[in-house]
Amino acid sequence: MMITGVKITLILLATTTVTSLCLGTVIAIMRISRIRIFHILGNLYVEIFRNIPGLFLILFFYFVFPEVLPSSIGAKLNAYLYYPVVAGILGLTIDNASYVSDILRSGRLSIPHGQRDAAISTGLSRVQQYLYVLLPQMYRTALPPLGTRMVHNFKNTSLCMAITAPELTWATQQIESLTFRGIEATSIATLFYIVLAGIMVSVIILLEKILKIDVSSITHSKTL
Amino acid sequence: MDLLEQFANINFYLLGPYPKGEIGGLCLNIILALLAIGSSFIFGALLGYSRLSCRLYIKYPCIAFIEIVRSTPLIMLIFWFYFFLPYFFGGSVTIFWSAVVSLSIYAAAYQAEIVRAGIMAVPRGQLEAALSTGMSRYKAMRFVVLPQGFKMMLPSFVSFFVSLFKDTSVTYIIGVIELTQTGIIISQRQPDKMYAAYFSMAIGFWLVCYSFSHLARKLEKRIGVFDLESYRPEACRDEFMLLPRRGKIGEEADQSARCIPAGPELKG
C-alpha cells in the first residue's frame, strides 16, 4: 500500500511538473503578448487562480467537473477507477501554472531588449525567437524561484488525499485505520517527503550551477 | 440563478453554525490565519535571526527545524498535531487548537526565511555605522537594522498571509468547519446544484485573497520589489549576533574574517 502510494505520488509529481510548466509557459507568453485579448485572458487566469486554494480546485475537478459535463461523459468519468488521480493532476496543474507563469513572466522581463532585437535582426520568426532565444533565457533566469515552486507543488500533491487518490498521505491514513500503526506510517511518509524534497532542491542547485553564465560577460554587453 | 439562491445560505458560508454552535465559515478561515501568523511571528523571527548565527549549536538546529518543516506537506503536519497533541495533553485538545498549532509551526518556518532575507537585505554599512556611533549590538539591531529590515519584509509578510489563508482550507480534512467544509455541506444538501455551492465557496476565498494580494502589490510598489524566493544569501554574518562570542567590538575583524567567505569585491 505504501509502495503504491509512493508510485502515485511520483506520478502526480512528474505529470504536474511537466504539464504546469507547459501551461505556465503558454500563459506567461500570453500575458506578455501585445495582442490585447491574449493579454487580458492571461492576466485574468492568473488573477483568478492565484487567489483560490489548490485544494478547492482539486475538489472542484473531482466532485463538480463530472456533473457540469454532459451526463454520459460524466458518468464514464465517475466510473473510471483512476479518476481521482486525473482530477488531482488537473487541479494541481491549474493551480501551479498560475504561479509558474508569474515567475516566468518576471524572468522574461529581466531579459535585456537587445536579445529580442538581435533575434529579429537575424531573421527569426516569432516562434523561433521564443524557441531559440527567449525561452531558454527565461527558464534560466527563473530557475531558483521555479525550483521552490516545484517543491511546493510536490508538497501539494499530498492534498490529493482529500479526493481519495491513493497517494502516500492517503496510504498512511489507510494504514492507520487498518492497523492502528499511525505513528510508524506517518513518520515514514514524512521522512519520504523530506528526503524527496531534499533531492529536488539539490537537483535544482546542481542545474543552477550547470546553467550559470559568467556574470562579467553580461555586464560587459550591457555597457556596450 | 442557482448562484443567487446561494445567498440564502450566506450566513452559513460566513459564520458557519455560529449562533447555535461554534463559529465557522469564512470567519474561521480568517481567525485561523490571523492566529497562526500572530503566534508564529515571534517564534519565526527568533528562528530566522538565529539562523544567521555563527555558533553552530544555534545555527544547525534552526536550519534543521526550518528545512524539515518547509519540506513537509502541511497535511502531514496537521495529521501529526491532530493525532499527537491529544496524546500529550489528554483529550481536551479540540481540532481547532490542533489546527492552530500546526498552522503556526508551518508559518514559523516560512516567516523565519522571510525575516532572515529581510535582515540580510539591509546593507552592511548600516550596522557598521550604527556600531561606530557607539551603539551596543542590541541597540544597533533594535533601532537601525530591524526597522529597515521589517520595512522590506512587509510585502512578503502580506503575500505570505495570503498563502497561509489559502492553506487554512486544508484544515477541513480533520473536520474544522471552515469555508471549504461549509461549501461541501451545502453541496451535499442539494447534489443537483453542486456547482453553485462550489462557486460561492470560490468567490469567498477569492475576495479575501484578492484584496490582500492587491495590498501586497501596493506595498511592493511603495517599498520596492523584494524578491524573496530567488534571494540566496551565502555569507554567514556573525556581526548580527546580539552577544558576540567575546563581546568586544575590537575583536570583530578576525571574527568576521573567520565567518564571511571573501566576496568577489574583496578579491579586487
- The answer regarding whether domain A2-223 maps to CATH 1.10.3720.10 reads yes
**pLDDT at residue A91, rounded to an integer:** 93
Instruction: Return the C-alpha torsion angle B67, B69, B75, B76, nearest 10.
Output: 90
Structure-model confidence comparison of residues B59 and B243, the more confident one: B59
What is the pLDDT averaged over residues A197-203?
Answer: 92
Domain around B201: 2-267
- Using CA atoms, how far residue A17 sits from A92, A95, A137, in Å, is 9, 11, 19
Q: Cα dihedral sign for B110, B114, B115, B116?
A: positive
Element of type H or E holding B154: helix B146-167
Q: CA of A162, closest CA in chain B: separation in Å?
A: 7
Which ipTM did the prediction report?
0.84
Asked if residues A169 and B75 have their Cβ atoms less than 8 Å apart, the reply is yes
Beta-bridge mates of residue B25: B178
Report CB contact under 8 Å: B194, A63. yes
> Is the predicted pLDDT of residue B8 greater than 80, yes or no?
no
The residue written with cell numbers 521564443 in the block is A130
Using a CB-CB cut-off of 8 Å, the residues of chain B touching A59 are 180, 184, 198
What is the rounded distance in angstroms from the CA atom of residue A2 to the CA atom of residue A82?
17
Q: Does B162 touch chain A (CB under 8 A)?
A: yes
Q: Does B83 touch chain A (CB under 8 A)?
A: yes
Asked if residues B48 and A175 have their Cβ atoms less than 8 Å apart, the reply is no
> Is the predicted pLDDT of residue B267 greater than 50, yes or no?
no
- Using CA atoms, how far residue B15 sits from B23, B33, B205, in Å, is 6, 15, 14
Instruction: Return the C-alpha torsion angle B79, B80, B84, B85, nearest 10.
Output: -80
> Is the predicted pLDDT of residue A199 greater than 90, yes or no?
yes
Q: What total number of domains does chain B contain?
A: 1
Among A107, A106, A134, A97, smallest CA distance to A119 is for A134
**pLDDT at residue B109, rounded to an integer:** 92
- Which of A43, A51, A78, A156 should one mutate to test binding to chain B, selecting the residue with the greatest count of B CBs within 10 A? A51
- pLDDT averaged over every residue in chain B: 78
Residue B15: give its domain's CATH number. 1.10.3720.10
The string of pLDDT tens digits covering residues B166-192 is 999 999 888 888 888 888 888 888 877
What is the pLDDT averaged over residues A17-29?
Answer: 93
Compare CB distances from B75 to A47, A151, A158 and report the shortest one's residue. A158
> Is the predicted pLDDT of residue B260 greater than 60, yes or no?
no
Domain parsing of chain A, residue ranges: 2-223
Highest mean pLDDT among A147-161, B139-153, B180-194: A147-161
The string of pLDDT tens digits covering residues B42-73 is 889 889 888 887 788 888 999 999 989 999 99
Structure-model confidence comparison of residues B198 and B88, the more confident one: B198
Confidence of residue B236 (pLDDT cuts 50, 70, 90): very low
C-alpha angle B95-A159-B114 in degrees, rounded to nearest 5: 80
Distance of CA B71 to the CA centre of its chain: 15
